[in-house]
Each structure stands twice: as C-alpha cells, then as structure tokens.
Amino acid sequence: MASHALPVVSDPVRYGLPEWIRTRPPRGPLYPEVRELLDRWNLGTVCREARCPNLAECWSAGTATLMLLGTDCTRRCGFCAVTTRWPHGAVDRSEPTRVAEAVRAWGLRYVVLTQVCRDDLSDGGASVLAEAVRRLRAAAPATLVELLIGDLAGSDTALATLLEDPPDVLAHNLETVRSLSRAIRDRRAGYDRSLAVLRRARELGPPGLVTKSSIMLGLGEEDPELAAAFRDLREAGVDLLTLGQYLRPSPDHLPVHRYVPPEEFARRRASALAAGFSGVEAGPLVRSSYHAEELYRSARSARGA
C-alpha cells in the first residue's frame, strides 16, 4: 500500500522541509468520535499505520480508510511505514463483520477499504476482502465502497473472487515509474504486474466498475517516464489517478530525491487529465484515498451516469 508519510509537522522549515509540506494537529468535533469508533470496533486504519499526513483533516471530517487482514504486511517496500511480519496464515474472521457494523454505525456515504499484502494466504486475502464487501452491502446498502488492493500475487482467481460482488471502485497503486519500481518496491511486486491487475479488473468486473491508481513523486522520476506511466495506466483502462509527494517515514526508508512544488503538481494534474483520466487529485499531501468520493463522482459524471 502507498504509505509515504511523516509525523505531524506544524513548522516544516524547522524540520528541513519546504514550506508547502505542512500538516495540522487533530481538531474538530468529529475527530474524537472517529477515534472512539475505531477503537471500539478494534479496527486498523491505513491512516494510523502508514502515518498519513491527512489523518487530522480526514478524521475531523468524519472519514477514515479501514485496513483489513490485520496491520502486518508480508512485504517490505522501501517507502512504506507499515510493519513487516509473516503472520503464518492467521486471519481474524470477525473482521468483515466488525467493519460492516462500524460503517453502519458511522453512517458513511462512502468508505475506502484497503489491505496489507498477505503472501502467506493462498488467495492473498481476497476471500476476506470479498466477505467484508458483502457484509458491508448488507449492513449499509447506501454506502459506496472503494477497495484498494494489493496485487494478490497476480492471481486472476483471487481477483475474480473480489469482483463477484464488486466494489464501486477497485484501486491498485502503480506507486512509481517503470525504471524505479524494482528499486523502491518489494521484489514480489512489479510495474507490469500492477498494470495487469488493473487491466484484468476492467476485463473481469462489471461495465460500471471504476478503477483507480496512485503514483508518488519525488523519488527521481523523469518527465518522459511519468508521461509513459500515465499512458500505461490509461491503456489499462484506469479512470482515476492520485499524485502525491513521497515523504520519508524514517531514516530507515528511502530518501526523498526532491520535494515537488505545488505548481508542478498542478501541471502534472493538467497533463494527467489531458491523457484521458476522468478525475485527478494532485498535491504534496495527496494520498491514494484523498477526496475519494469526489473523484468517484467525477468518473461517474464522465460516463454520463
């Protein structure tokens, strides 16, 4: 999962960061309510595990991205803050029910569910994710569901399991350009495998399925490589794209090659829209699930739905 993040920083210059890298401390009446609900149902979030810089904004607005299949990932990507551990096939079968009940209690219009990679499971955890979507549909039928998945080891069978009762949005992150993929991602991941997952999702899913991906900037990508990644994603049928700044979670992670200024993100967004994406979010603190509902609406609008 994309989890390029940093601690809350109110004075970025003091920490050697450019002025536009600024996050806020938690505030607003909904923040404690969201925190209490997540704790009550014992749910993991990518917001916490990946130290997302938008946690305060999203929780204060009453939204969060729920992380399934535990909080330990079997992969070790050079950019990711999520803990790496081999769970030996352990799965909490109550998780789909807890997710569904929490979303019902929360009263969400739109929810994003994501996962840690689980190479210790024969289906990559697809059956658990599919069960979570089914239970969520039953408990909160009006809630729109976005599912941000790993590559499921490239298994069409696992992907088909997820698409039997499909989410409204199926997302999988490309993360970076082709030349950098091997250096920054776990050896079991791959640029072409990620494109194949997105392409197959469109082929196996229903006509109304919206697909989405995300790319980090600031890792050393060159302009032509980024343009090629846009083309590759569009050729795979991807509707929506998010572009954000890679932020080093700790000294043990990959260094930042450069901080991309906001005006360059604006240009990248324009280029991505010109490449044919229905909706694009781009900015230094944008992450995979940022303004997810708004992006979904833009894709539906582009299809005339």
pLDDT digits (tens, 9 = 90+) for 61-81: 555 678 899 888 999 999 888
**What pLDDT shows up at residue 1?**
44
Cβ 279 vs Cβ 302: under 8 Å: yes
Structure tokens at 90: 């352990």
Cβ 257 vs Cβ 219: under 8 Å: yes
Number of domains in the chain: 1
CA–CA distance from 267 to each of 260, 262, 263, 273 (Å)?
A: 11, 9, 6, 10
pLDDT digits (tens, 9 = 90+) for 166-194: 999 999 999 999 999 999 999 999 999 99
> What percentage of residues in the chain have a pLDDT greater than 90?
64
Structure tokens at 88: 């030996």
Computed over every residue of the chain, the mean pLDDT equals 86
The answer on pLDDT for 5 being more than 60 is: no
**What pLDDT shows up at residue 245?**
94
Cβ 139 vs Cβ 172: under 8 Å: no
Cβ 131 vs Cβ 96: under 8 Å: yes
Q: DSSP label at 45? A: E
Query: What is the rounded CA–CA span in Å between residue 248 and residue 17?
Result: 11
pTM of the complete model: 0.88
In this prediction, residues 235-245 reach a mean pLDDT of: 97
In this prediction, residues 100-109 reach a mean pLDDT of: 85
Q: Of the ranges 17-21, 34-38, 196-200, which one carries the lowest mean pLDDT score?
A: 34-38
Query: What is the rounded CA–CA span in Å between residue 168 and residue 147?
Result: 8
In a domain, 7, yes or no: no
Query: What is the rounded CA–CA span in Å between residue 243 and residue 8?
Result: 20
Burial of 258 by CB count in 10 Å (0-12 exposed, 13-18 middle, 19+ buried)? Answer: middle
Looking from the CA of 281 toward its CB, the CA atoms found within 13 Å total: 22
**What pLDDT shows up at residue 52?**
54
* Secondary structure E strands in 187-271: 210-217, 240-245
Structure tokens at 35: 């925190």
Length of the chain: 305
- The DSSP secondary structure of 158-182, one letter per residue, reads HHHHHHSS--SEEE---BS-HHHHH
Tell me the residue range of the domain where 198 lies.
12-302
Give the chain's largest Cα–Cα span. 50
pLDDT tier at 6, thresholds 50, 70, 90: very low
pLDDT tier at 31, thresholds 50, 70, 90: low
In a domain, 176, yes or no: yes
Identify the residue with better confidence: 47 or 88.
88
The answer on pLDDT for 121 being more than 90 is: yes
In a domain, 3, yes or no: no
Q: Of the ranges 213-217, 263-267, 294-298, which one carries the lowest mean pLDDT score?
A: 294-298
Identify the residue with better confidence: 137 or 50.
137
Query: What is the rounded CA–CA span in Å between residue 185 and residue 183?
Result: 6
Among 17, 5, 80, residue whose Cα is nearest residue 258: 17
Query: What is the rounded CA–CA span in Å between residue 208 and residue 237?
Result: 12
**What pLDDT shows up at residue 199?**
98
In a domain, 2, yes or no: no
Q: Of the ranges 22-31, 55-64, 136-145, which one carries the lowest mean pLDDT score?
A: 55-64
The answer on pLDDT for 2 being more than 50 is: no
The answer on pLDDT for 269 being more than 80 is: yes
H/E stretch holding 289: none
In a domain, 6, yes or no: no
**What pLDDT shows up at residue 13?**
46
In a domain, 88, yes or no: yes
pLDDT digits (tens, 9 = 90+) for 11-21: 444 457 888 88
Query: What is the rounded CA–CA span in Å between residue 102 and residue 93?
Result: 15
The answer on pLDDT for 163 being more than 90 is: yes
Cβ 75 vs Cβ 189: under 8 Å: yes
pLDDT tier at 135, thresholds 50, 70, 90: very high
In a domain, 25, yes or no: yes
Q: Of the ranges 38-42, 60-64, 208-212, which one carries the lowest mean pLDDT score?
A: 60-64
CATH number at residue 256: 3.20.20
In a domain, 150, yes or no: yes
